[in-house]
Structure 1
Amino acid sequence: MGYLNKKEAKTITYTNPVGGMTRIGDPFVLKSRGNYYMYATSEPNFGFKVWESPNLVDWEEKGMAYVHFDQPKKWATGDFWAPEVVEHNNRFYMTYSARNLEGHLQISIAVSSDPLGPFTDLSTQIIKQEGSYIDGHIFIDDDGTSYLYYVKDCSENIINGKHVSQIFVQQMNNELTELLGEPQFLTEPDANWERPHDEYQWNEGPFVLKHEGIYYLMYSSNYFASHNYSVGYATAPNPFGPYVKAVENPILSKDLSLGISGPGHNSVTVGPDDETLYIVYHTHTIPDAPSGNRQMNIDRLYFEDGKLKVDGPTSTEQKIKVK
C-alpha cells in the first residue's frame, strides 16, 4: 500500500510485487488523463482485464477491457496474450495476440474511446504473412510516424532446425489499421545469455524508447516459465535499425536469493512526477515453481552515458517521486 512519506512529502513508498494481483503476465502500463491503466495477460481464454491506479502503487481491478465474446467477429479461439494500449488521436488502441481459427497466433488491433474499454476489434490479423505472430508494440515517433514492433513466434519459425522467436518492425498507417512496406528483421537470440544453441530460443516482448535521438529496443529472452527469463536492450539510430545489443545485457534478471525469478516482458511508463521513468515487469509468483502464474513489479529506469539501466529487481521498500 502506498503512503505519503512525511519526512519527504514528495514521495510515496512501495515494495514489490505491487498491486496484489497474481496469475497475470506481460504487464503494460499506460499513463493517461492523470491516471495509470494496467493491462495484462489475465483471462487467456477470452480477453483482458484492466486495473487503474492514481500513483503506480495502489491498484484497483476495473473489470474486463476486452472480451472476445462481445466482438462482432469471433476470429480467435484462445491464447489471448500481451495486450498493450496507446493513446492516439483521442482514442485508445490495443494490440494483442490470440490464436486464430486456423491455429496460428496472430496480432489484432482493437479500439476504444475510454482506457477502461470496452475495446472493439478494428483490424484483426494485421500481419498478412504466414506463420504465428505475437507481442505487438506500437511506437509513435516524435514526427507522428507510427511503427509496429512484433515477434515472429518460435512455434512456427524454424531456422536450421531450431525454433526461434525473432523481432521485426513495420511502419503503420496513421489510422493504426494497416502495415506499410515489408517486414524489417531486427533481432534474434545470439548472445550467450540468450541460449542461442537451444532447441527453442526467444527474443520477444519488444518495447521502444527514444532518448537523445537514439532508439532503445527492450526485449525479453529465454523461456517465460524459467528462472532465466530476463530483459536486455539494443540501440539504433532509427526505428528500422540496425540494432546493436548492449554488451552489459541482461539489465534485469533473476535474484533467487531475494525470491526473484524470471523478471521480464516489460513496459515503461513515467512516474507521478512526470519525469522519472519506471520499468514495469512480471516475476514468477512462486519462485521455486516458475510458471504462467506471475505478478507485477516496478523499478526505476534511467539513462546514464547512453546506457539504459534499472535500479532492480528490488524486493525492499522503494520510493516514488510525486508532484
Structure 2
Amino acid sequence: MKISLKYFGAFLSVLMAFASCNSKEKSQEETTAVAAKQTYSNPLDVAFGDPFILNDGDGKYFMYGTGGGAKDGFAAYSSDNLVDWKFEGQVYQGNTDDSWASKFFWAPEVYKIEGKYYMFFSAQWKVNPTNEEENFMIGVAVSESPTGPFIEMYDKPIFDPGYPIIDANVYWEGGKYYLYYSRACYKHPVESEVADWAKEKGWYEEIEESWVYGVELKPDFSGVIGEPVLCLRPPVKMDDAQAEWESRSVTKQEINRRWTEGSVIFKHEDTYYMMYSSNYYAGENYAVGYATSKSPLGPFTKAANNPVLELNTHKGGEVTGTGHNNIVFMDNGDMYCVYHGRTKESGQERVVFLDKMEIKPDGTLVVHGPTTTAQAMPIED
C-alpha cells in the first residue's frame, strides 16, 4: 500500500508529538522523584528516646538511643544520609553475670577514639545495699566496631559521687577528657521560690531537682580526677528569666520535680556551648535550652533566647515533648540537632527528629525546629 508523502509527514508529526508528550511526562516524573529524594520530613522512622548520632566518617552514620527494641541494653541503626536508617540489632547487652548494670538502660553515647568505639551509658547499679529505687550510675563499654559488640571495660561504674547520676556526655581537648552528667532528682529536694510557691498552692510539699555537673576523666576512663563541678541547675528565683520555661513541670502540675539533664557540650570559636533539657521527660513540656562559658567547666551563663526547642502545639503544630538532644557535626560545617519528641500519631511513643541548627554571627544558637514539613536533605560536601 502506498502512502503519500503528505500523509506520511502528518503521521510522523503525530508520533513525534506523542513521543514528546511521553518524554515530558517521564521527565516530570523523574524530576518529582529526584526532588522527593532531596527532601525529608520529621519524624524519622526510628522510635526511641535520647538519640545520639555518631559521624563515623566517609558518609557513614550510626545512631544509638534508649529503647528501640533492645532488651537490657542498646541497639544501633546505620545510615549514609542521616534520614534513611537500617536497624543493626542489639550492640550492647547488660544485666549479665559479668555486668555491673541490672536494668534501666538509658542514654548511650558512642565516641570514636584512636580507632576504637567507646559507649558511655546510664543504668541501675547492682550494688545497692540500701535498696534505693534509683541507684543509677554511668559506665563505659568498648568495641572494635560501631555495631558492637560493646564490652564493659570495668566491672563497676566509672565513679560513685554518692547520689544517682544519668545522661553521660564526654568532651575532650588538649589531652584532657571531661565527663558531664545529671544528678538525678531522686531524694534531692531543693529550696527555691518556685518550691515555696507550689507549697503555698497546696500542690507539692517539696520540689526535687536534677543538676548538671562536669568532672575531668582519667585517660583510661577508669575514674575521675578531682571533684565534680556544678555547671547548671534550675533557677532559684521566680523572676529569673529562665524560671518560667524550666519550671513548667511544676506550674503545669505534672510532677514535683524540675530537671536539668541531657547535657551536650561543644566548642564554637572560643566559646563553649552546653545544651540541656528541662521539665518532665515523659510530659509535653520537655524542652531544650543552652548556656555558654569560656571554660569547659564553667561558669555557664544561660542564653536569653531559651528555650531553643519546645512543643509547637500552641502554634498549630503537632509536636510535644522535645528534648534530650545531641548534635551531628557535618564535614562541611553544617550542624544538625537530633532529639526525640512526640506527635499526635506517635502518642506517648518517643520518635526521632532531625533539624538544622546554627550559630549566628552574634553567637546566638538557633534550632530550626521542631518541624514536620519537608526540608532539604542533609548534604555532606
Call closer, same or farther: CA 1:275–1:7 in 2, change over 3 Å: farther
Instruction: Verify: 1:79 aligned to 2:104, yes or no.
Output: yes
Instruction: Verify: 1:30 aligned to 2:54, yes or no.
Output: yes
Q: Which residue of 2 aligns with 1:249?
A: 306
Equivalent of 1:181 in 205, 226, 239: 226
Q: Residue type of the partner of 1:321?
A: I
Q: What is the rounded CA distance, in whole Å, between the counterparts of 1:315 and 1:265 in structure 2?
A: 18
Q: Which residue of 1 aligns with 2:179?
A: 148
Task: State percent identity of aligned pairs.
Answer: 36
Call closer, same or farther: CA 1:44–1:135 in 2, change over 3 Å: farther
Equivalent of 1:169 in 199, 214, 217: 214
Equivalent of 1:122 in 135, 141, 153: 153
Secondary structure, counterpart of 1:193 in structure 2: helix
Greater Cα offset, 167-176 or 240-249: 167-176
* Alpha-carbon shift at residue 5 of structure 1 (Å): 7.6
CA contact (8 A) 1:107 1:127 kept: yes
Q: Residue type of the partner of 1:152?
A: R
Paired residues, number: 312
Q: Residue type of the partner of 1:48?
A: F
Q: Which residue of 2 aligns with 1:282?
A: 340
Greater Cα offset, 203-212 or 38-47: 38-47
Q: Which residue of 2 aligns with 1:270?
A: 329
* Alpha-carbon shift at residue 275 of structure 1 (Å): 1.9
Equivalent of 1:205 in 248, 262, 265: 262
- TM-score, normalized by length of structure 1? 0.90
Higher strand share: 1
Q: What is the rounded CA distance, in whole Å, between the counterparts of 1:6 and 1:176 in structure 2?
A: 50
Call closer, same or farther: CA 1:186–1:13 in 2, change over 3 Å: same
Instruction: After superposition, give the CA deviation of every residue in 1:258-309 in whole Å (9 maximum; x if it has no partner).
Output: 21111110010123x53210000001154795x3x20011011100011111
Higher helix share: 2
Secondary structure, counterpart of 1:261 in structure 2: strand
Secondary structure, counterpart of 2:103 in structure 1: strand
Instruction: After superposition, give the CA deviation of every residue in 1:62-85 in whole Å (9 maximum; x if it has no partner).
Output: 00110115x562322211000001
* Alpha-carbon shift at residue 33 of structure 1 (Å): 3.3
Secondary structure, counterpart of 2:153 in structure 1: strand
Q: Which runs of 5+ in 1 are unaligned?
A: none
* Alpha-carbon shift at residue 250 of structure 1 (Å): 0.2
Q: Residue type of the partner of 2:55?
A: K
Q: What is the rounded CA distance, in whole Å, between the counterparts of 2:329 and 2:246 in structure 1?
A: 28
CA contact (8 A) 2:248 2:279 kept: no
Secondary structure, counterpart of 1:126 in structure 2: coil
- TM-score, normalized by length of structure 2? 0.77
Secondary structure, counterpart of 1:232 in structure 2: strand
Instruction: Verify: 1:193 aligned to 2:245, yes or no.
Output: yes
Greater Cα offset, 73-82 or 163-172: 73-82
Larger Rg: 2
Q: Residue type of the partner of 2:84?
A: D
Q: Which runs of 5+ in 2 are unaligned?
A: 1-29, 192-205, 236-241, 251-255
Q: What is the rounded CA distance, in whole Å, between the counterparts of 2:33 and 2:294 in structure 1?
A: 43
CA contact (8 A) 1:83 1:96 kept: yes
Q: Which residue of 1 aligns with 2:18?
A: none
Call closer, same or farther: CA 1:7–1:302 in 2, change over 3 Å: farther
Q: Residue type of the partner of 1:144?
A: G
Q: Which residue of 1 aligns with 2:194?
A: none
Call closer, same or farther: CA 1:262–1:5 in 2, change over 3 Å: farther
